[in-house]
Structure 1
Amino acid sequence: MNRGIHKEKNKVVQTIIAISLSLCILILMVKFALAFKPFYYFEVDRLNIEATSNISKDEIIKNYDYTIDYLLGREGTKFELPTLPSSLFGQVHFEEVLKIFSALDIVLILSIVVSIIGIVFLYKKRNFSFVKQASNILTFFPIVFGVIFSLNFERSFIIFHKIFFRNDYWIFDPQKDPIINILPQEFFFDIAIFILIINFVIAFLLRILYHKKLKYLK
């Protein structure tokens, strides 16, 4: 009886650590994709944003860089683009996005702490099933969302905003908030796929690590 209870507790701990580790990796990959500005620079040319927005490339990059630095907490709390105008609703929206990223930072710290403690605990027991579980989660995530995004990204984009925002400030008027012209929906689709691909690669690497650990234990 006690052995069965102990086994069930181990499974619960494994699952908690796997979820925590997966969450940690997902958030880190989102932040990495956000901070990796060269991806956007490539998109500026690929999507011909300079022509469609009627804004020079230098100005596009300057305002994009500011926006990213702002969302990463490097520009204070008031959103104020270097050269482009912003409406009050536009400023409020970016301030709300900043709050979401700040909340993600807290979740990230907690998941890192839980993951480290759990990994140390399970490593001592030579139990690495959590690595396989984390790999499964990180494989499932990009496959499911990749299919959803591919079928109807616009609908997914709208649902995402309705879940995370209690207003419609995210629906920008290009005349009042021209930044929307340099952030086309195609860019958000590409960066979403970029994040999913990275997660899929990490899932694959975790699976390799898991099998190597099994061979080591044998």
Structure 2
Amino acid sequence: MLRCNKIKAFLSGLVGMVFLISVAVILTLSCKSLYKADMRHLRLAEETGYSEEEILVNYEELIDYNLSSFHKELKFPTFPMSDEARIHFEEVKVIFQGFLYIMVVSGILFVLIAIRMAKKSDWLFLKYTGICSIVIPSVLGGMIALNWEKVFITFHELVFQNDYWLFDPVTDPVILVLPDEYFMHYAIMIIGIVLLGAGVSLGIYHIKSGERKQ
């Protein structure tokens, strides 16, 4: 019986981990201030010759396209776009829309699990949520620290079945305002949010477990 409860708690922890990761991805994508900070830090206006206003209006179109299921067609206000780039962005949108659906479904499941376990004063699922949410981001963070470029290339080769992600800046100047450093900071922010969620889960587990022993 005890082993069965631990298995259920572990599976619930996996649901919690999936929820945290999907939330982290969507929050980071939605965080336009991260891009604005990178735009200035990396001096994109000076490096590309485009004004900050032009860079931002095209970037915001891309983000809105990825986040909204009602935004059916990507149209950059001032940047040209090749057919290959359009196909790539359509594939990227599918991924982010997938994360949105996963976030909703896993979030509902996690809330239901939390309500059920709270009634039993059984908080073990939060311990497994925290542990699972620390292990994967930590491994990924170590890989990024060792060789970000390798991680970036491997990710694209695994996720996409074509090489349309290899943009030509002449036909697709949007790549000039989406440098590798930005994607690295994007990945770091996702990891940071997941680890924060893991810390909160473990903290609540220890608090509630302590209350239960009193």
For Structure 1 versus Structure 2, the TM-score category normalised by the shorter chain is over 0.9
Cα distance between partner residues in 1 of 2:53 and 2:187: 25
Is there any run of 5+ residues in structure 1 with no aligned partner, and where?
Answer: 1-5
Q: What does 1:160-171 align with in structure 2 at a 5 Å threshold?
A: 160-171=155-166
Q: Deviation per CA, 1:20-44: give whole Å up to 9, x if none.
A: 1111111111100110101110100
Q: Is the 8 A contact 1:77 1:95 kept in 2?
A: no
TM-score, structure 1 normalization: 0.93
Q: Does 1:138 align with 2:125?
A: no
Is there any run of 5+ residues in structure 2 with no aligned partner, and where?
Answer: none
SS at match of 1:55: coil
Q: Is the 8 A contact 1:161 1:170 kept in 2?
A: yes
2:4 partner letter: K
1:168 partner letter: D
The CA deviation at 1:74 is 6.1
Paired position in structure 2 for 1:217:
212
2:76 partner letter: L
TM-score, structure 2 normalization: 0.95
Cα distance between partner residues in 1 of 2:89 and 2:142: 28
Q: Is the 8 A contact 1:93 1:170 kept in 2?
A: yes
Q: Deviation per CA, 1:129-151: give whole Å up to 9, x if none.
A: 11111111122122211110011
1:25 partner letter: L
Q: Is the 8 A contact 1:80 1:91 kept in 2?
A: no
Paired position in structure 1 for 2:90:
95
SS at match of 2:161: coil
Q: What does 1:67-216 align with in structure 2 at a 5 Å threshold?
A: 67-73=62-68, 76-216=71-211
Please give the root-mean-square deviation of Cα atoms over the aligned residues, in Å. Answer: 1.3
Cα distance between partner residues in 2 of 1:90 and 1:42: 25
Change (3 A) 1:49 1:25: same
The CA deviation at 1:75 is 6.0
Q: Deviation per CA, 1:64-112: give whole Å up to 9, x if none.
A: 1111111101662211111100000101111111111122222222212
Q: Is the 8 A contact 2:25 2:99 kept in 1?
A: no
The CA deviation at 1:216 is 1.1
Structure 1 segments, 4+ long, off by >3 Å, are: none
2:107 partner letter: I
1:64 partner letter: Y
Aligned partner of 1:13 among 8, 15, 18: 8
SS at match of 1:106: helix
Q: Does 1:49 align with 2:44?
A: yes
Q: Is the 8 A contact 2:26 2:100 kept in 1?
A: no
Cα distance between partner residues in 2 of 1:75 and 1:86: 21
Q: Deviation per CA, 1:5-28: give whole Å up to 9, x if none.
A: x32321221111111111111111
Cα distance between partner residues in 2 of 1:54 and 1:61: 13
Paired position in structure 2 for 1:32:
27
The alignment of Structure 1 onto Structure 2 pairs a total of residues equal to 213
